[in-house]
Amino acid sequence: MGPVQHELAGEPTFEPTIQVDMEIKAFVSAWRHCDYVSTYMARMISQNRSDSVRHSNLFSSALNELLEVAFRTRHAGGDLACRVSRHGATDRIELTFPCVPGDRQFYQEAVSQVAGFEARERYLSSVSGDLAPSREVVLLELAVDYNATFRVEEAAGDAIRLVVDLPLEGLRN
């Protein structure tokens, strides 16, 4: 693998570490795929971190949540690509998955709302209510608890790419 091809101007270079691809149909056929993929990838990328067990646990939890977001796709065809790359203390997860137009709108709006000062208030309000966990709450949780940053990009075909930067190595507690 080479450096990530779609970097924004002025952004640091993230070096690829691991990528897993599978048909979305196979991925959504069993819920356990989320856990298997996240655990495997977390163990593979965490071995050279200062506290590899902590890093692996945090990364696996975050990736599992993101995979569950992709798992809820309503698009029946295409592929899921999960790529992890690294720049210093930050790991980048890129999830590319097929997406129907209505879900594209949701992701654009959700990602725009998880950034900023209000994210913490929105997250606390959502977890203290009686609402069932939603994809937006998952993104808010990662933004607040993991200091994650997000962006959504268009990908080839009917797919989107959810790009998530996780500065796990620098997280306190």
Mean pLDDT of 61-65: 95
Q: Using CA atoms, how far apart are residues 111 and 18, in angstroms rounded to an integer?
A: 24
Query: What is the per-residue pLDDT for 88?
Result: 93
Q: How confident is the model at residue 137 (pLDDT cuts 50, 70, 90)?
A: confident
The residues facing 21 across adjacent strands are: 81
Question: Which residue reads 């048909």 in tokens?
Answer: 23
pTM over 0.85: yes
Averaged confidence pLDDT in the chain: 87
Return the pLDDT at 6: 54
Q: Are 55 and 47 in contact (CB under 8 A)?
A: no
Which residues, 6 or more positions from 83, have their beta carbon under 8 angstroms from its beta carbon?
4, 16, 18, 19, 93, 94, 96
- Digit-coded pLDDT (tens) for 12-45: 899 999 999 999 999 888 888 899 999 999 999 9
- Bridge partners of 19? 83
User: Which secondary-structure segment (H or E) carries 92?
Assistant: strand 90-98
